[in-house]
Structure 1
Amino acid sequence: MNKLLPTSTAGSLPKPLWLAEPEKIWSPWRLEGEELIEGKQDALRVWLQEQQHAGIDIVSDGEQTRQHFVTTFIEHLDGVDFEKRKTVKIRDRYDASVPTVVGAVSRQKPVFVEDAKFLRQQTKQPIKWALPGPMTMIDTLYDAHYKSREELAWEFAVILNQEAKELEAAGVDIIQFDEPSFNVFFDEVNDWGIAALERAMEGLKCETAVHICYGYGIKANTDWKKTLGSEWRQYEEVFPKLQKSNIDIISLECQNSHVPIDLLELIRGKKIMLGAIDVATNIIETPEEVAATLRRALQFVDADKLYPSTNCGMAPLSRAVARGKLNALSAGAEILRRELSA
């Protein structure tokens, strides 16, 4: 991106109510067969247009073609039984019924590549595609086969790398790996999590990003945040090692969070996708509030490495609120661009 402060979203955008039940994650589809395929493509077009209309620079599919940012990818793999379900604690926070790893995991065919090709055909803008990271994948399953979180993570890293290489070939400019688990399992992140992530992006020539947040604006996450006190320093545990990694862009949550902005000093030199939009509230930020968050970050990030974004995905929000937040993000970045060019 040649443009200063290029804007993007962290990932998901609300699904139109004709496609799926709105304002929910894991929302069931309202169409099936050919109608579902067409409906997903229509929704992708709608949100591409919304992003363009709002002035978002790096566009995405808004995850319109998938039910969930992790499980939709896993559904397409061998070795996981979705009928055989277990209740596990996800990210040490809330219980969920998840599928079981019953054998060696593998990928027989591409998962998102056709969707990415479709998005690429619709626009000349830079496009970003999100994949789940290895650690967040293992945290969304019950493993009855490998019995080792690390071993399963490395297997997933190989599979993700196959997918990422095909996404790159389809014309994706930035591949983002979603790793909210990096804010929870610090020892594992430093022992093997970052290494597994680097394996997932091995050999890629496009830009790579890791998205680490405090989660969607769902009750389990907002309740957890209330227990974190006045300063959220979780990033401190993983930033030093991430700073030394091969990952190009690090995405983090800064709007209405208690993350001390000076933690950015720990990843100086990296590109920063800075969450300047709170996804856990229906209140739409003013452009000036967005600009103020970005301004604070500029003490620790060079302007040419700052990518204004959202804290996390916006799937649980209404379309009107998400649209308002996209507009605010774009307008806030523009305020700062004018200041910097002056």
Structure 2
Amino acid sequence: MTTSIIGFPRIGEHRELKFATEHYWKKRATKEALLTAAKNLRAQHWQKQQDADIDLIPVGDFSLFDTTLDAAFALNVVPARYRALGLSALDEYFSLARGYQSDTESVKALPMKKWFNTNYHYIVPEFDDQTDVKLVGTKLFDEINEAKAQGISPKAVIVGPFTLLKLSRFIGDKQAADFAPATISAYKAILAKLGQQKVEWLQLDEPALDFNLTDDDKALFLSIYGELLSAKGNVKVLLQNYFGDIRDVYEDVIKLPFDGIGLDFVETDQNIALVKKFGFPEDKVLFAGVVNGKNIWRNHYATTIDTLHSLNVKGPIVLSSSCSLQHVPYDAALETNLPETVQQHLAFAYEKLTEIKELDQILNGEDQGGLAKNTDLFSTIRHPKSAAVTERVNQLTDADYTRLPARAERETIQQDEFELPALPTTTIGSFPQTKDVRQNRSKLRKGEITKEEYDQFNRDKIKRVIEFQEKAGVDVLVHGEYERNDMVEYFGEKLDGFVFTQNGWVQSYGTRGVKPPIIWGDVSRNAPITVETTVYAKNLTDKLVKGMLTGPVTIFNWSFPREDITPEESVTQIALAIRDEVQDLEAHDIKIIQIDEPALRENLPLRKTDWYKRYLDWAVPAFRLVHSGVKPQTQIHTHMCYSEFGDIIQAIDNLDADVISFEASRSDLSLIDQLVAADFQTEVGPGVYDIHSPRIPSVDELETIINKIIAKLPVSKVWINPDCGLKTRSETEAFEAVTNMVNAAKKVRSQVYETNGSL
């Protein structure tokens, strides 16, 4: 046996990379300071892996923002509009991810989408007909030299050519296959350079093989690797797959001259079935993904060993993680506030390194007591159960998932109730979590202020943001969510069944980290969660104020789930808890309630053939369960962002919400055409500007965008809002952008009224 992992977390145990990068963006630190911080983190991570006796240590998995962006940047896939800015290489790189704005120039960021079925987001590379694919970057090779200087034997890592092309956006006449020859040449150049550096292994990440592949997809994959592998020289090439299975090309892959094939044996049983049915070549190395890289529970050694033995592989095996460990926090030993009954069952990145090492020892006949200790541990796990929750779930009927009257009738009732203008404006929920907001929360946690002082600070903030929205002319207001640390963590803290980490940070995108709750027991609500702050905000204004909730699917998908019950069972429990909150808000005369589901697509199986039976058939009803009991006059909104929704439009319409807001600006409103084609019936708010970029759109720019929207969608169905919540922006950026958005909407609205009269 040999050991490896696919990738390692990169934000830093205490989010050092986040702070170093943001200081550079804010011109509080130099380029040299940022690059030094990054280099120090790489060295620490490599040393940690070496200390854990990991044999093949990945190099190239570290990124200042995103590894897919890294690959595109290294291969000269940079649209001309960014090159025209004349920036340094580092600032040009960040402009692709964040956009750029100066007194004279303004360029939007590239689209950002979910990384397969995770909460990580990648930057979508953009090819046009003039894109000249070639190797220009040195990042991978520079880091190889760093690792070697540290005494590390590196396994080079980069996104594979097939996945790079499949995840990219093509805006000209040329498509992926047209760029294949140049892409192959670029990867050949990578192999040649690694050969000169005497690197033993190159890991090419190809998770796009998990999708249902068409004949053209398979032809593209085979053409790429049929030629590329002929140029590998002395470098061993590992085809690394994760998040699913490679059933569509498995028989082809085992015939190609790969030196190693990496398969995920955690996410699905399908890869196990493939190996058992078709065998595995003795002349190739199986990189067996047996330690879960996405969840935080200890590995059950006996089960893993049985799985490996059942494969009956005759050739060499490398024990590995199922995917990159970037999807879990760093160190479970830091979670000293958790009960021992919970803490002992956790395995974060550091613990997973130890698990791989101990499994290696057991399988090599060198067990030092790890198997017996692990077996004893699994005999002690006790998830708290609730008879009341079980009874409530068992009593559900079809009527609990159906809202009456039908949406079209509700739409008329709500229009009469609210008397909103055409193109009503709103925001998605949160306003900037500025330094003073974070400090207020920290002081309460440290006992430096009383709960009343903490609440009064938040009330003052709510009052201020309500006054801003009234002055700006926003039609439907929000309270700003100042009391919330995170849209999932906040609700988890108020519900039974969750536990929370102190340092469990996981990268979501760029410098954005989240601290996912852990679902430990049955979930229920024991008291109202949002009623007090929402009612306070409502009483400050004569305008409508939205109640803001996080939906059950998102709470589940953005938490670390327990593994002893099905996802459907867990989501249903959460849905009932949020249903109670919806009904309490309605009872307090909150007429508009937004139930956010940005993560609806996140656990969608990667293969379309599995979408409904394995996920949507229970995820969509869970959302309906939350709101089915409200009155016709109560308007239910939901929000979704940073993913591809066009292919599940019908399922989204079936959520039976009254209004749905989407991320749309980074994708140039391409979603609008998909809504029209699907005859989408829900009122819709396509995001008119990107809140993940610091650039502030002008009134003219936003007016143009709104006119594009209403050229395709009925004015009576359209709401105007940003792409997402404003939490991560500064107040200056948020207030100016929202004001511009409202003014643009008013200009278009006046034109509509002038042309059509009142609607």
Shared fold by TM > 0.5? yes
Question: AA paired with 2:637?
Answer: A
715, 718, 724: which is aligned to 1:303?
715
User: Does the residue aligned with 1:36 lie in a helix, a strand or coil?
Assistant: helix
Task: Confirm whether residue 181 of structure 1 aligns to residue 570 of structure 2.
Answer: no
Counterpart in the other structure of 2:666: 256
Which stretch shows the higher mean deviation, 184-193 or 125-134?
184-193
Counterpart in the other structure of 1:227: none
Task: Confirm whether residue 154 of structure 1 aligns to residue 572 of structure 2.
Answer: yes
Contact 2:505 2:513 in 1 (8 A): yes
Counterpart in the other structure of 1:24: none
Cα deviation, 1:228-286, whole Å, max 9, x if unaligned, reads: xxxx7x11122112224421111101223344131221253311122112101121111
How far apart in 2 are the matches of 1:291 and 1:74? Answer: 39
Unaligned runs of 5+ in 2: 1-417, 605-610, 755-759
How far apart in 2 are the matches of 1:199 and 1:250? Answer: 17
How far apart in 1 are the matches of 2:483 and 2:530? Answer: 9
Counterpart in the other structure of 1:289: 701
CA RMSD of aligned residues (A): 2.4
Contact 1:146 1:152 in 2 (8 A): no
Counterpart in the other structure of 2:392: none
Contact 2:424 2:476 in 1 (8 A): yes
More strand by share: 1
Q: 1:267 and 1:164, CA in 2 relative to 1: closer, same or farther beyond 3 A?
A: farther
- For residue 101 of structure 1, report the CA deviation from its aligned partner: 2.0
Matches within 5 A, 1:33-182: 33-83=451-501, 97-144=515-562, 146-182=564-600
How far apart in 1 are the matches of 2:503 and 2:464? Answer: 35
- For residue 144 of structure 1, report the CA deviation from its aligned partner: 2.8
How far apart in 1 are the matches of 2:455 and 2:502? Answer: 27
* TM-score between the two structures when normalised by the length of structure 1: 0.86
Looking at CA atoms only, which structure, 1 or 2, has the larger radius of gyration? Answer: 2
Contact 1:103 1:145 in 2 (8 A): no
User: Does the residue aligned with 1:142 lie in a helix, a strand or coil?
Assistant: coil
Counterpart in the other structure of 2:738: 326
How far apart in 1 are the matches of 2:565 and 2:508? Answer: 17
Counterpart in the other structure of 2:747: 335
How far apart in 2 are the matches of 1:176 and 1:253? Answer: 15
How far apart in 2 are the matches of 1:30 and 1:289? Answer: 41
Which stretch shows the higher mean deviation, 77-86 or 144-153?
77-86
How far apart in 1 are the matches of 2:514 and 2:459? Answer: 29
Percent identity over the alignment? 25
Counterpart in the other structure of 1:9: 427
How far apart in 2 are the matches of 1:80 and 1:54? Answer: 39
- For residue 111 of structure 1, report the CA deviation from its aligned partner: 0.6
How far apart in 2 are the matches of 1:313 and 1:119? Answer: 18
Which stretch shows the higher mean deviation, 114-123 or 94-103?
94-103
User: Does the residue aligned with 1:182 lie in a helix, a strand or coil?
Assistant: coil
Contact 1:268 1:301 in 2 (8 A): no
User: Does the residue aligned with 2:538 lie in a helix, a strand or coil?
Assistant: helix
How far apart in 2 are the matches of 1:181 and 1:333? Answer: 28
How far apart in 2 are the matches of 1:175 and 1:150? Answer: 24
Contact 1:13 1:64 in 2 (8 A): yes
How far apart in 2 are the matches of 1:40 and 1:51? Answer: 16
- For residue 88 of structure 1, report the CA deviation from its aligned partner: 7.1
User: Does the residue aligned with 1:176 lie in a helix, a strand or coil?
Assistant: strand
Equivalent pairs counted in the alignment come to: 318
Question: AA paired with 2:747?
Answer: I
Cα deviation, 1:7-55, whole Å, max 9, x if unaligned, reads: 000111013433325xxxxx95445421101011111111111111111
Runs of 4+ in 1 over 6 A off after TM superposition: 84-91
Question: AA paired with 2:522?
Answer: A
How far apart in 1 are the matches of 2:593 and 2:626? Answer: 11
User: Does the residue aligned with 1:185 lie in a helix, a strand or coil?
Assistant: coil
Question: AA paired with 1:263?
Answer: Q
Cα deviation, 1:58-98, whole Å, max 9, x if unaligned, reads: 0011111211111111101111122598677879xx98543
Contact 2:428 2:725 in 1 (8 A): yes
User: Does the residue aligned with 1:210 lie in a helix, a strand or coil?
Assistant: strand
Cα deviation, 1:270-307, whole Å, max 9, x if unaligned, reads: 11122112101121111121122221111332111211
Instruction: Pick 1 or 2: higher relative contact order, CA cutoff 8 A, min separation 6.
Output: 1
Counterpart in the other structure of 2:640: 212
Q: 1:97 and 1:71, CA in 2 relative to 1: closer, same or farther beyond 3 A?
A: closer
Q: 1:49 and 1:37, CA in 2 relative to 1: closer, same or farther beyond 3 A?
A: same
Unaligned runs of 5+ in 1: 22-26, 215-231
User: Does the residue aligned with 1:74 lie in a helix, a strand or coil?
Assistant: helix
How far apart in 1 are the matches of 2:658 and 2:549? Answer: 15
* TM-score between the two structures when normalised by the length of structure 2: 0.40
Q: 1:20 and 1:84, CA in 2 relative to 1: closer, same or farther beyond 3 A?
A: closer
Question: AA paired with 1:262?
Answer: D
How far apart in 2 are the matches of 1:190 and 1:237? Answer: 12
How far apart in 1 are the matches of 2:544 and 2:563? Answer: 40
How far apart in 2 are the matches of 1:90 and 1:317? Answer: 16
- For residue 160 of structure 1, report the CA deviation from its aligned partner: 0.5
